[in-house]
Each structure stands twice: as structure tokens, then as C-alpha cells.
């Protein structure tokens, strides 16, 4: 009986410790950046032992990675598909405005920025990120664009990855380089410019 009572209790305790560690990693990455993030620091902030962290994760990158996955999981329910009302421009504006909100939220943005910089020097981390976080989200975006292609709202021979770059690239660039304000107006301008192109259209 004791063992049976203890098992769910210790599982709950493990869950709580895991959550504290991932939360601490997110907070610290935002505060000190990836380079100065350390397992020691995470352990101290989480009130956990260093050994506990090393038992569950091989590196600080792996901890931060799971922490960002945890943040993303909370959103999965409502955002497994991008909106598809049939109005491509309106739908894209909703989605890019949400991206802007996320990139302006320091809870997500600062650890994500720390990871983004580290990925530029660590090809393995970048490959893991691409596979586990980036590619699934990109596929949702491609799916919305394919639906628009079927509806005749996008050129049928469009290179979808170039299209994604036209839409999300300017947001990501402004976020990473911090070289301009990330506003909903900017998101709207990007959607309109990408859809209509730089050449004038007969109106």
C-alpha cells in the first residue's frame, strides 16, 4: 500500500521538479543569454539538485529546448491548424499579428532569441530545433498556403518555402536584429506587400 501511495506522489513531485527546472531555464536564458546560462544557475533558481538535471538532460541546450517545447505545448490545442476562413489576406494578418505578439512577449522571446543565436554556431542544436519545433510549424503554414493555391488565391507553381520567407522572414529578421519596431501595422504591411508584390497591380 505504501508503495502504491508513494508512486503517484513521487511522479507528481517529479513533474513539479521538471516544471520548476524548465521554468527556471526560460527565465534565466531571458535574463543572462544563452552563453552565460548554466546548469548550476538553473538548479539554484529551480531549487533542484544539479544531479537531477544531469539525470534528465545531457546539456543546457537540451533543457532550454524542452522548456520551449513546454511553452509550445500549451498552445497546441487552439493552434494545431492555421485559420482558414477563405480570406487569405485576413487569415495571414491574424496569424502574423499573433507572431508579433509572441515575439514581443519576453517570456517566450528572450529564451527563444538566446536559442536562435546559439543555433547559428551549433549545427546539431539547429538540426534538432528544425526537426522538433520549426518544421511542424512550417508544415502548418504550408498547408494553409496549399489550401489557398487550391482556391486559386496563390500562384499554382509558387515555391512555398520562398513564400513562407516573404511572409515570416521580415518579422523574424526585425526580431533577431532588433532593427525596427515589431508592430501589428508592420505585420499587416508585410502581408499586403508579400501578397501583392512590389510591382503595382491594376486595381
Residues that bind a second copy in the complex, under the rule CB under 8 A: 33, 35, 117, 119-121, 123, 126, 130, 145, 152-156, 158-159, 161-163, 165-167, 169-170, 172-173, 176-180, 186, 189-190, 193-202
Q: Which is nearer to a second copy, 8 or 156 (CB)?
A: 156
Q: Which is nearer to a second copy, 53 or 194 (CB)?
A: 194
d(CA 20, CA 15): 9
Query: CB of residue 92 vs a second copy: minimum separation in angstroms?
Result: 9
Query: CB of residue 136 vs a second copy: minimum separation in angstroms?
Result: 15
Q: Which is nearer to a second copy, 81 or 161 (CB)?
A: 161
Which one, of 103, 95, 63, 102, lies nearest residue 79 by Cα?
95
Q: Which is nearer to a second copy, 39 or 166 (CB)?
A: 166
Query: CB of residue 105 vs a second copy: minimum separation in angstroms?
Result: 19
Query: CB of residue 5 vs a second copy: minimum separation in angstroms?
Result: 50
Query: CB of residue 10 vs a second copy: minimum separation in angstroms?
Result: 41
Q: Which is nearer to a second copy, 2 or 177 (CB)?
A: 177
Query: CB of residue 138 vs a second copy: minimum separation in angstroms?
Result: 11
Q: Which is nearer to a second copy, 8 or 152 (CB)?
A: 152
The angle formed by the CA atoms of residues 164, 199 and 87, to the nearest 5 degrees, is 50
3-state secondary structure the chain: CHHHHHHHHHHHHHHHHHHHHHHHHHHHHHHHCCCCCCHHHHHHHHCCCHHHHHHHCCCHHHHHHHHHHHHHHHHHHHHCCCCCCCCHHHHHHHHHHHHHHHHCCHHHHHHHHHHHHHHHHCHHHHHHHHHHHHHHHHHHHHHHHHHHHHCCCCCCCCCHHHHHHHHHHHHHHHHHHCCCCCCHHHHHHHHHHHHHCCCCCCC
**Distance between start and end Cα atoms, the chain:** 76
Amino acid at each position: 500500500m505504501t508503495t502504491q501511495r508513494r508512486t503517484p506522489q513521487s511522479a507528481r513531485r517529479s513533474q513539479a521538479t521538471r516544471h520548476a527546472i524548465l521554468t527556471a531555464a526560460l527565465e534565466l536564458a531571458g535574463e543572462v543569454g544563452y552563453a552565460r546560462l548554466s546548469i548550476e544557475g538553473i538548479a539554484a533558481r529551480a531549487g533542484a539538485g544539479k544531479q537531477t538535471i544531469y539525470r534528465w538532460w545531457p546539456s543546457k541546450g537540451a533543457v532550454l529546448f524542452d522548456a520551449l517545447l513546454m511553452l509550445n505545448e500549451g498552445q497546441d490545442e487552439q493552434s494545431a491548424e492555421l485559420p482558414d476562413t477563405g480570406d487569405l489576406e485576413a487569415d495571414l494578418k491574424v496569424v502574423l499579428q499573433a507572431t508579433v505578439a509572441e515575439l514581443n512577449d519576453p517570456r517566450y522571446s528572450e529564451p527563444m532569441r538566446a536559442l536562435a543565436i546559439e543555433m547559428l554556431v551549433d549545427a546539431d542544436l539547429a538540426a534538432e530545433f528544425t526537426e522538433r519545433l520549426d518544421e511542424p510549424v512550417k508544415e502548418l503554414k504550408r498547408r494553409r498556403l496549399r489550401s489557398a493555391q487550391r482556391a486559386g488565391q496563390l500562384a499554382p507553381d509558387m515555391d512555398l518555402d520562398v513564400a513562407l520567407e516573404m511572409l515570416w522572414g521580415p518579422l523574424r529578421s526585425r526580431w533577431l536584429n532588433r532593427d525596427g519596431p515589431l508592430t501589428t501595422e508592420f505585420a499587416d504591411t508585410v502581408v499586403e506587400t508579400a501578397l501583392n508584390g512590389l510591382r503595382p497591380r491594376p486595381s
